[in-house]
């Protein structure tokens, strides 16, 4: 998997290259000091992953992400501030790293990105009441519906979150929703579907599933309440 480092700070680019050098199978294809420079390079080169700073003069990393759209590379934001976490969430980037980035945290983010990149060869197939199939590198793999915790839209992909891992599927959330039994799964946000029997709690406007928080949009709140077995 190749990557492009984009940061207006030369020392930050050097630190990121050092992190990349310790990860097998990850290569730096180039580095850019501005988002505009990166945008122009991306018109000519095939890049799998962007390690993208947010605050840069001229065009920010968030603006570059929006300009690239859904067909762009997988993106990991690298920033010194936590202020942009909500916008990053809305843009469905693979991860959001706060500088200075530890090697362990960097590897965790790269693993997420690899799942998404490899997901380009995966898709969801029709299911019955007990399981679904995903296509993984030409092989159909069975996923039990009981193992699915929730599903998350991410650009042209859908992440199937199961216990301690996820699968990336090249599909839309709407297409996946149509293949899941509505008695067991429910959309609660434009970017999320949850397994109703995996809900542990609902607090502060979010569903808690295995200690992970899934947002609930106001448009779905009444329908969700009607599906819950409230006493």
What string of pLDDT tens digits covers the 231 residues of the chain? Answer: 999 999 999 999 999 999 999 999 999 999 999 999 999 999 999 999 999 999 999 999 999 998 887 667 999 999 998 887 777 766 778 888 999 999 999 999 998 888 777 765 455 554 445 788 787 665 677 888 999 999 999 887 889 999 878 888 888 898 889 888 888 999 999 999 999 999 999 988 899 999 899 999 988 988 898 888 776
Cβ atoms of 149 and 163 closer than 8 Å = yes
d(CA 209, CA 93): 21
d(CA 106, CA 113): 11
- In angstroms, the Cα distances linking 3 to 20, 28, 83, 117 are 9, 5, 25, 12
Domains annotated for the chain, with CATH where assigned, are: 2-118 (3.40.50.2300), 123-227 (2.40.50.1020)
d(CA 115, CA 98): 21
Q: Find tokens 């990850």 and name the residue.
A: 26
Any idea what DSSP says for residue 188? E
Dmax (CA) of the chain: 60
Q: Find tokens 């990053």 and name the residue.
A: 88
What strand order describes the sheet that includes 2-6?
A: 27-32, 2-6, 49-53, 74-79, 95-98
* Predicted TM-score (pTM) above 0.75: no
């Amino acid at each position: 998997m190749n990557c492009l480092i984009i940061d207006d700070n030369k020392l930050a680019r050097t630190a990121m290259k050092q992190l990349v050098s310790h990860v097998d199978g990850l290569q730096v294809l180039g580095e850019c000091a501005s988002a505009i420079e990166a945008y122009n390079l991306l018109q000519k080169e095939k890049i799998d992953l962007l390690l993208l700073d947010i605050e840069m003069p001229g065009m920010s990393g968030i603006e570059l992400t929006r300009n690239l759209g859904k067909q762009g590379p997988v993106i990991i934001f690298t920033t010194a501030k936590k202020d942009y976490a909500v916008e990053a969430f809305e843009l469905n980037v693979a991860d959001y790293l706060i500088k200075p980035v530890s090697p362990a945290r960097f590897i965790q983010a790269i693993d997420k990105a690899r799942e998404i990149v490899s997901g380009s060869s995966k898709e969801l197939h029709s299911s019955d009441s007990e399981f679904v199939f995903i296509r993984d590198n030409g092989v159909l793999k069975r996923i039990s519906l009981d193992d699915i915790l929730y599903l998350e839209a991410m650009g042209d992909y859908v992440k199937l979150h199961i216990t301690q891992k996820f699968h990336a599927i090249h599909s839309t959330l709407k297409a996946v929703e149509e293949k899941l039994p509505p008695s067991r799964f429910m959309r609660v946000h434009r970017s999320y579907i949850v397994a109703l029997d995996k809900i542990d709690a609902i607090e502060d406007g979010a569903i808690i599933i295995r200690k992970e928080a899934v947002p609930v949009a106001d448009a779905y709140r009444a329908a969700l309440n009607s599906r819950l077995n409230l006493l």
